[in-house]
Amino acid sequence: MPEINYKELTSHIKSAEKEGFSKLYLIHGEELLCKTAFEELLNALLPESSSDRNLNYDPVDGTNENIFDAVERANTFSFMSGRKVVAFLDSKIFYSKENEKSLLEKAKEAHAQKDLKKAARYFTGLMSLLKLSFDDVGKENRGKSLKIDSGESDNSWIDDITVYCIGKGIGLSGEEDNASFFQKAVEKGFPKGNHLIVTAELVDKRLTLYKAVNKNGVIIDCQIPKGDSRNDKAVQESVLLERMNAVLLKNDKTIDKAAYHAMYEMTGFDLRTFLNSLEKLISFTGKRKRITVEDVESVLKRTRLDPIYELTNAVADRNAANSLFFLDSLLASEIHPLQALSALINQFRKLICVKGFTGSRYGKTWESGSTYPRFTSVTVPAIEEYDNDLLKVIEERDKFLSVNDSAGKSEDQQKKTSKKKTKTATDLLIAKNSKSPYPVWQLFRKSDNFKSEELISIFECLKDADIELKSSGRTPKLVIENAILHICRKT
């Protein structure tokens, strides 16, 4: 049977209403999209207005020990007429060792969001997968069993989860036996009029169980790529815009582009948090139709789990206390000290580029404390002109130098040199993506915290810190802290 994308579900339902629904559905991928797809499918099978909905709908929690119960219910005829739907929700039965890293990250993220129930679900799924006991994930053994460094980093979140699991009596189950049992049930099929819907956030498509479901049922793919490539980002943004526009239309609202970008900067690609934030803004604006960037800044707090962003912002604001706090957070999350320093170097390179603009003939378009609307209408066009002029100067310089550079070099060497020059050129641009001017506006505001000569001195300081990290035996944290205190000290 077909494996369809969640966007195809509506058309699938229309066809199924004429030709018949599958007895088995698997919905997997992004949590909120899975929930939306599940509700749409359930409403098609058992309309919410139907009097039989409460009697013929049977949800089962997706812990693996419940798979036997879910299959038994799916094989039992309903006492009432019409369809019967059994839902096996948030299943872990499609996990494999390929999901090991994702499960650990999701457990940690859920703990950070103070959702211990969800954290326990991911963590016990990982433990069952690796056949670990609670003793195996104790402080002394977790480094080896979970392949994490138990000595240097703060893994107290694991203790919180294990205490919660033991206190709630949450146990572990045998993955292989459960999967084998469920696969046999899938291949045998379910009685006419009965439908089983399984939802899962993570699946391994190589499992024979997954292939059996694909052969005997319908799979609805709600996966969204999580990477940072241009294509992945484009897919993420299309999903956010699609869901955002649906909510806005329902509430008869519109939103400024700047407000959308400000929300995205605060939440990242976290669909649930993004839509919850949108609901807050809808309530805040009341009868007013349009949501603005000022509304976003008034109502929302940054929720995106991105300590590097927090660190660079705090240092650019010259806030020593917050800078040192976020540095501790970064290093505790096992980010390499050179990554933290590199982020600071990149931030101040951008600020120097901004000072280059404000010191040029285009600089008169920027005023300290300029509002976002004025920035987009007056400053952004000037930035685009400035970037274009800068590219022309760089191209002319490269042409002049290329004659001498190419002498005696092979074709491959010349191509590598050309790529390096291209990257250097784009690094000097202020607005690489003119469609997202909000972060650039924030950068300009932070540039007002520094004089040009200060930025040059700071860049020298960061260069020295980079050399010291790579060549001396000093504690990396102390090296970066000294650089931060130098930057935050106002002259």
pLDDT, one tens digit per residue, over 187-226 is: 999 999 999 999 998 888 888 999 999 999 999 999 988 7
Judge if 3 and 64 occupy the same domain: yes
Number of domains observed in the structure of the chain: 3
Of 160, 189, 223, which closes a domain?
A: 223
Structural domain including 52 reads: 1-223
Rounded average pLDDT over 88-98: 82
**Can you list the pairs that 299-302 forms with residues at least 24 positions away whose Cβ atoms lie under 8 Å?**
300/263, 300/266, 301/266, 302/265, 302/266, 302/267
Provide the percentage of residues in the chain whose pLDDT is more than 90. 36
In a domain, 118, yes or no: yes
By C-alpha distance, which of 61, 51, 71, 11 is closest to 194? 71
Residue 405 lies in a domain: no
Q: Count CB-CB contacts under 10 A for residue 37.
A: 26
Q: What is the pLDDT of residues 134-159, one digit of tens each?
A: 887 887 777 777 776 544 456 778 88
Average pLDDT over residues 259-272: 83
- Residue 68 falls within a domain, yes or no? yes
Residues 256 and 314 in one domain: no
pLDDT tens digits for range 229-249: 678 788 888 899 999 999 999
pLDDT digits over 423-436, tens only?
Answer: 455 667 887 655 66
**What's the mean pLDDT when you consider all of the chain?**
83
Whether 312 maps to a domain, the answer reads yes
Is the pLDDT assigned to residue 172 strictly greater than 70?
no
Boundary (domain end) residue, out of 161, 194, 223: 223
Find, among 277, 276, 280, 345, the residue nearest to 308 by Cα. 345
Q: What is the CATH number of the domain that holds 389?
A: 1.20.272.10
Confidence of residue 73 (pLDDT cuts 50, 70, 90): very high
Most confident of 80-94, 281-295, 299-313: 281-295
Rounded CA-CA distance 134/259 in Å is 46
Query: Where do runs of H (alpha helix) occur along 290-410?
Result: 293-299, 307-316, 320-332, 337-358, 372-374, 380-405
